[in-house]
Structures are given as C-alpha cells and as structure tokens.
C-alpha cells in the first residue's frame, strides 16, 4: 500500500515509547490505521487531534504489515476543544466512526458527511447550529452499514403524512393515529429528520434518542460500552442546554 490522501483524524492509541497507532478516515479508502512515529511528541500532539484535517502519506510493504503513516496538518479544529459542547460532539463523532467502520472499505458519503458536520460545528459552535447535522450523520452511519431506518411511510397503515414516531423493534415510522395507543413505547421522530432544515435543541435531543437506540442495538455492542457512556454525557449536556428535564 502506498497512498497520499486527505484524511480526518479519528483516534489515537499509544504504541511504543513515543509513537501511536492513529485511525484516519479517508475519502476513497475508508478507515485507515497505521503507526505514526513521534505521535506523542510536542510537534505532533496538536496535529493528531480528533477532527483535524491532515494530508496523510500511508505506506506498507505487505497487506499483513501495519502501515507507516506520516501526516501534515491542513486544518486544525483544536480551538473548538475549549468549548465543552462542540468538543464533546467532535469527540463522539470521531470515536463512533473509528469504532463502527471496518478498515479499508470506502465510504465516500460518510467522509463528506463527517466533513460537513465538523464544518457546521466550527461555523456555529452553538448546538442549535450543528445538532441536526449530527443526527443526520448517525442516520447515515446506520444506513451505510446496513441498518437504515424506514421513515417513508407508516408501518401499520402505509400513510406518508403525520409520521411522528418510530418502532424500536422494526425501525419503521408510525403515524400519529397509529402511535396513540402505544404512547411511551415508541421512539420520537422529530420533523427535521424527514423534512430537512435546522432543528431546535429539543428536537435534536429527540433525534439523538432515536438514533441512539439503533446505534446501541446494532452497531455499538458490549465492546463499546465506554463509547455509549460518552454519547450519553453529550446528550445530557444537550438536554441541559435545551432546558429539558
């Protein structure tokens, strides 16, 4: 393997005395992991922050060998780490991507969506500016990995309007009329998920409640318990910001 590519830094795990295994998301080669020499040194630490955009050179002599990676910073999102909510959102989106995706399988739509989410967080650090993008990124992650939700019509009646909930078992939408007898047992379906556009913070929390159920059930199993806990803290911060109980 020899390639030079733009990449988004996702995660870093110490390896050896000064280096680390770094996981990157690339547009055409998907998730790439490799060893970065000096990754924990003073020069490289600010470069290998989750969410940063880098130019990566990846090389390996054989498929069985851990690739060697060198990186140059092209855009830093380090300043956002001083803001608790944006920092938590970037950390979560990067960790989800690093954990859920198989290595070296291209997901160009996910690369573009993650880039867009990070740009939205940078442009409008208030969660009302990027919350909808985070929910859509999680929905896309589910769909790209084969667990997409069916939100086009009601599972019971086939109706395509007044869809207000989702079955936690089937992942299919439910209309207001059909949902009424099952109040409290269905997941919320906020309007922005189907209609597009921005979302108020309470709707963002509802959207994350929806995606969180299916992420935990279908993608983030027991091996990612700590990841689920990190996401729960992010959602709790958003609830407080929205003034929700």
Check whether residue 37 and residue 140 sit in a common domain.
no
Take residue 113 and report the two structure tokens written for it. Answer: 């969506």
Check whether residue 64 and residue 84 sit in a common domain.
no
Residues 66, 95, 198, 182: what is their CA dihedral angle, to the nearest 10 degrees? 120
Q: What is the pLDDT of residue 223?
A: 64
- Overall size of the chain counted in residues: 245
Query: Mean pLDDT lowest for which of 16-20, 79-83, 129-133, 220-224?
Result: 220-224
C-alpha 38: how far from its chain's center?
27
C-beta separation of 200 from 192 below 8 A = no
Q: How far apart are CA 49 and CA 78, in angstroms?
A: 7
Q: How far apart are CA 168 and CA 114, in angstroms?
A: 26
pTM: 0.94
37-86 pLDDT, tens per residue? 989 888 999 999 999 999 999 998 877 788 999 999 999 999 999 999 99
Check whether residue 9 and residue 64 sit in a common domain.
yes
Phi and psi torsions of 21, nearest 5°: -90, 120
Identify the domain boundary among 76, 96, 124. Answer: 76
Identify the domain boundary among 76, 93, 119. Answer: 76
Q: How confident is the model at residue 17 (pLDDT cuts 50, 70, 90)?
A: confident
Residue 177, domain member (yes or no): no
Check whether residue 67 and residue 115 sit in a common domain.
no
Residue 238 CB neighbour total at 10 angstroms = 22
More confident residue, 212 or 125: 212
Q: How far apart are CA 139 and CA 236, in angstroms?
A: 20
What domain range includes position 55?
2-76
Domain count, the chain: 2
Q: How confident is the model at residue 166 (pLDDT cuts 50, 70, 90)?
A: very high
């Amino acid at each position: 393997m020899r390639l030079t590519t733009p990449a988004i830094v996702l995660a870093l795990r110490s390896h050896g005395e000064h280096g680390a295994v770094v996981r990157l998301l690339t547009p055409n080669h998907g998730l790439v992991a490799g060893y970065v020499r000096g990754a924990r040194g003073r020069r490289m630490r600010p470069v290998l922050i989750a969410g940063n955009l880098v130019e990566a050179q990846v090389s390996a002599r054989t498929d069985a060998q851990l690739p060697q990676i060198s990186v140059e910073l092209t855009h830093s999102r380090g300043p956002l780490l001083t803001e608790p909510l944006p920092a938590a959102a970037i950390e979560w989106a990067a960790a989800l991507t690093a954990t859920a995706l198989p290595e070296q399988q291209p997901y160009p739509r996910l690369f573009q969506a993650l880039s867009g989410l990070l740009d939205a967080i940078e442009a409008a650090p208030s969660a009302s500016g990027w919350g909808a993008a985070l929910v859509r990124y999680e929905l896309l992650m589910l769909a790209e990995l084969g667990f997409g939700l069916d939100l086009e019509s009601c599972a019971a009646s086939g109706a395509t309007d007044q869809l207000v909930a989702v079955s936690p078992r089937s992942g299919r939408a439910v209309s207001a009329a059909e949902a009424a007898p099952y109040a409290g047992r269905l997941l919320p379906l906020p309007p922005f998920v189907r209609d597009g556009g921005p979302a108020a913070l309470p709707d963002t929390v509802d959207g994350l409640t929806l995606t969180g159920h299916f992420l935990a059930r279908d993608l983030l199993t027991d091996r990612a318990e700590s990841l689920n806990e990190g996401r729960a803290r992010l959602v709790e911060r958003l609830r407080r910001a929205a003034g929700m109980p």
